[in-house]
Amino acid sequence: MRALANFIMRGRVQAVIMALLGSWVPLLSQGALGLVTLRKGWKEGLIITLWASLPAVAALWAGDVAKVMAVAGIEVMVVAYLSSVMLRYTVSWSAALAAIVALSSFAALVAVLLVEDISSQLVAFFQTMLESQAQNPPSAETALLTNWSTARAAGVIAMWISLTTFAGLALARWWQAMLFNPGGFRTEFHSLRLNASLATAALGGVVIAEFNGLEYGFWGLVFGMPLLVAGIGLIHCFVAAKKLGIWPLVAFYFGLVLIAPLGLLVSLLGFTDVWIDYRKRFNLVQPK
């Protein structure tokens, strides 16, 4: 990973190459444009973002993929760039997470306006993916792709953009710390604590989505992402402070994927940490 980061920072041509390769390697484009933006500023980052968006623009022009996927591909690069700008100039993960949620939601609404019958296009895309993986997809998975509303389709797009943007931005910040500030990303992530306004707004968004039923379930995941990320940062801080090693984190991430209520519990930790401050209360001092 250090070799990739070094290659990106060698010059604009190298960064463009890695951004273009991101069309085949997940998160590479977001990581490359994020690293350049964080280190060199918004102007240089914008150039890399335009190049990173080129494959999606070409696909949209040529009609090689579903319009919804080409539009979402362009949007994810724009959101990743703007979120990187936010983190660079505020040096605040709370601000960056707020930007990711707001921009991803806005991008999903723009996609609804630009793509006709967006739900049908998205369902057709997922059906094609299922059929390519198995000749006879499970009936349960097929049932999930029926009767999609525009709200659900927009929620899926917003969730995909927000998750990939955060993952790419975290990768970029890790690369930046690896090259120029060893241990800096670890310290930032372990100390990540939301402000009261963001935490309250996030919880409010989750509650509203839940009260509106399954059609808005994906929107609940989008709005709840800052709470979940803050909770994960707190778990990492606890494991590091207690010197428990890597295996508790491995088990934690498996549980996060396989046990749905665990995600709710972690999000609750992220929310209550705003007022309780678990790090201070339990003396979770960073080990040297």
* SS3 letters across the chain: CHHHHHHHHCCHHHHHHHHHHCCCCCCHHHHHHHHHHHHHCHHHHHHHHHHHHHHHHHHHHHCCCCHHHHHHHHHHHHHHHHHHHHHHHHCCHHHHHHHHHHHHHHHHHHHHHHCCCHHHHHHHHHHHHHHHHCCCCCHHHHHCCCCCCHHHHHHHHHHHHHHHHHHHHHHHHHHHHHHHCCCHHHHHHHCCCCCHHHHHHHHHHHHHHHHCCHHHHHHHHHHHHHHHHHHHHHHHHHHHHCCCCCHHHHHHHHHHHHCHHHHHHHHHHHHHHHHHCHHHHCCCCCCC
State how far the Cα of 173 lies from the Cα of 269, in Å rounded to an integer: 24
| Neighbouring residues of 123: CB distance < 8 A, sequence distance ≥ 6 | 145, 146, 148, 153
How big is the CA angle at 245 (ends 240 and 248), to the nearest 5 degrees?
A: 95
Helix 28-40 to helix 42-62 angle, to the nearest 10 degrees? 150
Residues whose CB is less than 8 angstroms from the CB of residue 47 and which lie 6 or more positions away in sequence, other chains included:
12, 16
Is this model's pTM higher than 0.85 or not? yes
Question: Hey, CA dihedral for 220, 203, 88, 284, is it positive or negative?
Answer: negative
User: For each of the chain's 288 residues, which pLDDT tens digit applies?
Assistant: 899 999 999 999 999 999 999 888 889 999 999 999 999 999 999 999 999 999 999 988 887 678 899 999 999 999 999 999 999 999 999 999 999 999 999 999 999 999 988 988 888 888 887 776 655 655 555 556 667 889 999 999 999 999 999 999 999 999 999 999 999 999 999 999 999 999 999 999 999 999 998 889 999 999 999 999 999 999 999 999 999 999 999 999 999 999 989 999 999 999 999 999 999 998 886 544
Pairwise CA distance, residues 18 & 24, whole Å: 10
Q: Report d(CA 37, CA 9) in Å as an integer.
A: 11
**Residue 285: what pLDDT?**
65
Could you give the C-alpha distances from 259 to 48, 255, 265, in angstroms and in order? 38, 5, 11
Answer for the pair 72, 161: CB distance below 8 angstroms, yes or no: yes
Helices 196-211 and 260-276, interaxial angle, to 10°?
A: 150
Provide the CA 186 distance to its chain's centre, in angstroms. 18
Q: CB under 8 Å to 196, separation ≥6 — which residues?
A: 274, 275
